[in-house]
Structure 1
Amino acid sequence: MTTAIQKHQARMQRVRDYIDEHLHDDLNLDLLCSVATYSKYHFHRQFTATFGLSVHRYILLARMKRASYRLAYRDTQSITDIAMDAGYDAPDAFARSFRQRFGQSPSAFRKSPDWEPWHSAFTPLDDARNKLMQTTFTTADVTIRDVPPTPVAMLEHRGHPATLGATIQRFIAWRRAFNLHPKTSPTFNVWRSERRPESPADYSVDLCVGVPPRFEVSGGEMKASQIPGGRCAVLRVVGNTDNLEHAALYLYRDWLPASGEEAGDFPLYCQRLSLFPEVPEHEAVAELFLPLK
């Protein structure tokens, strides 16, 4: 029975990943059934039973999520191109659908996103993406590295997690102005609070970009800082890198006590190696660093 369930989950995950990777294509029923290797007479019900969303709604939300990221964080792409890439024949149809879900037109969202309804709209999609069993980490997944110190430019986010998107926008705009592209200048997040503190106002994370030595950080909110060097336990995560809590809990709750190591005097942080929407969500990669003494 366990083997049969695992095979079913693997087939469902295969079709989900195919959808995420081909959002710009015609994702018709016959094609998806062939990817899942399920009969078209049963595929709809099996997909809905597995993910809690119909395949049509999953595709719609996945395309809208990618489109909203591009609107908020990729201002060089036109709204018309974003609409076409989301599967709409005309920008007007995209604008109506977008406003219906988020309460803003695409142009208004690009200028000043209202993130609270955005988060609410994508809760069903996030739940669907987490429906299958989470990755089970083992000690073999953790390596200990001696990492060099890294000078960074840092933007502090202090406040409700729902407002993080606006901080990310300012961070991206600054690094773009100084030509610090993610492919050549590493991206880090340093967590100074729990993911869900008792008071959301206490949520605290630093957004960092690696800079060359003697780089002069200027630009209002941005500060010069450094990610210290030293020994770190490193755990690589592929897929749902928006939520690294499961990986962090493994490091603290399971790996650290069994390892005989002690945590160092610097917060948990991660390096973003590949980012959505540049890659499909299931191909996003982050490495989690737990500093050690």
Structure 2
Amino acid sequence: MKTAFERYHARMQRVLDHIEQHLDGDLDLDALSRVAAFSKFHFHRQFSALFGISTHRYVQLARMKRASYRLAFRGTDTVTDIALDAVYETPETFSRAFRERFGQSPSEFRQMPEWESWLAIFDPLTKARNKYMINFSKNDVNIVEFPETAIAVMEHRGDPGKIGDTIQRFIAWRKTVGLPPRVSNTFNVFHTDPLTTPPAEFHIDLCASTDRKVAENDAGVRAGTIPAGRCAVLRMTGSSDDLEKAATFLYRDWLPDSGEDLRDFSFYCQRISFFPDVPENAAVTDLFVPLK
């Protein structure tokens, strides 16, 4: 049976899930306290004490994060639609609020995001979410035979805080050649560990599966392969901004007890569903550890 502590956290997690699923709806204190089944007279203090951020601030940041993702990575979404979905009455009020928070207008951010300041702004949201994260168990890990997969590869080398620029270029290239995620699987291959690698040496590949020949291009995309072989795979549901907890579980907790040996290929993941196309708590990422 769940302990009282676990039940308490489950009620708070229900609130976070509700926020992610209803960012364009009513998320005032009364509504959220009803979701948690806590008294509205105390709920705001309970939330702030647990997550280190007020409910109002959390909702504001969650809405702005979705809006900024859509501006940066969903070029067909209009500023008007993004503003209304962020629960601003007009595009003008949204633009003023966006500029106050980011120092850029929505149009400027769409063209050339300042990712370093963006990361700093959302740090309180990331920390709040990390206060309560799903704990993995060894039963969550499966062994699979991964098939050899031809991929198109765009490398990102250097500061991980600037990976958003590379993602934008990769999305644009995929659109140009007709390889959007609905017809081409999306992978990331991690050549370095951001926790132990100097920012200048960080290296990750953004990849799209394809059986087509990758033609010479100005985007710097080249052909590559994810080799066939056995892999341990762990499915992670929720924000994929930080995969470190899942990766640490695989390497520190699961691997030593598994009796398995590692194969000579990098740790990688497959992005099954994406934020902001789905609510952030519904994004799905499969993490693969290559095994002999």
Partner SS state of residue 41, structure 1: helix
Amino acid paired to 2:240:
T
For the residues of structure 1 that align with 2:161 and 2:9, how far apart are their CA atoms?
A: 32
What's 1:83 paired with? 83
User: Does 47-56 or 164-173 show the bigger shift?
Assistant: 47-56
User: Does 75-84 or 191-200 show the bigger shift?
Assistant: 191-200
Is the contact made by 2:152 and 2:214 (CA closer than 8 Å) also made in structure 1?
A: no
What's 2:68 paired with? 68
1:25-48 Cα distance to aligned partner (Å, 9 max, x none):
122322212111111111111111
Is 1:219 the counterpart of 2:217? The answer is yes
CA RMSD of aligned residues (A): 1.2
What's 2:184 paired with? 185
What's 1:264 paired with? 263
What's 2:109 paired with? 109
Amino acid paired to 2:269:
C
Is the contact made by 1:98 and 1:104 (CA closer than 8 Å) also made in structure 2?
A: yes
What's 2:275 paired with? 276
For the residues of structure 1 that align with 2:22 and 2:14, how far apart are their CA atoms?
A: 12
Is 1:38 the counterpart of 2:58? The answer is no
Q: How does 1:196-235 map to 2 (within 5 A)?
A: 196-211=195-210, 213-220=211-218, 221-235=220-234
Is the contact made by 2:235 and 2:286 (CA closer than 8 Å) also made in structure 1?
A: yes
1:202-261 Cα distance to aligned partner (Å, 9 max, x none):
1110000011x2433442210000111111111111113221111111211222221111
For the residues of structure 2 that align with 1:197 and 1:255, how far apart are their CA atoms?
A: 21
1:121-145 Cα distance to aligned partner (Å, 9 max, x none):
000000111111x322222111111
Is the contact made by 1:195 and 1:245 (CA closer than 8 Å) also made in structure 2?
A: no
Q: How does 1:116-195 map to 2 (within 5 A)?
A: 116-132=116-132, 134-195=133-194
Amino acid paired to 1:113:
P
Is the contact made by 1:237 and 1:286 (CA closer than 8 Å) also made in structure 2?
A: yes
TM-score (ref. length: structure 1): 0.96
Partner SS state of residue 289, structure 2: strand
Kindly tell me the number of residue pairs found equivalent between the two proteins.
290
For the residues of structure 2 that align with 1:85 and 1:199, how far apart are their CA atoms?
A: 38
What's 2:16 paired with? 16
For the residues of structure 1 that align with 2:280 and 2:183, how far apart are their CA atoms?
A: 21
| Structure 2 alignment gaps of length 5 or more | none
Is the contact made by 1:151 and 1:224 (CA closer than 8 Å) also made in structure 2?
A: yes
For the residues of structure 1 that align with 2:233 and 2:17, how far apart are their CA atoms?
A: 26
Partner SS state of residue 181, structure 1: coil
For the residues of structure 2 that align with 1:218 and 1:49, how far apart are their CA atoms?
A: 54
What's 2:291 paired with? 292
1:176-217 Cα distance to aligned partner (Å, 9 max, x none):
112212122110000000022342111110000011x24334
For the residues of structure 2 that align with 1:96 and 1:218, how far apart are their CA atoms?
A: 42
For the residues of structure 1 that align with 2:197 and 2:204, how far apart are their CA atoms?
A: 15
For the residues of structure 2 that align with 1:189 and 1:145, how far apart are their CA atoms?
A: 18
Amino acid paired to 1:242:
D
- Offset at residue 11 of structure 1 (A): 0.6
Partner SS state of residue 145, structure 1: strand
Identity of aligned residues (%): 55
For the residues of structure 2 that align with 1:197 and 1:78, how far apart are their CA atoms?
A: 40
Amino acid paired to 2:104:
Q
For the residues of structure 2 that align with 1:246 and 1:93, how far apart are their CA atoms?
A: 38
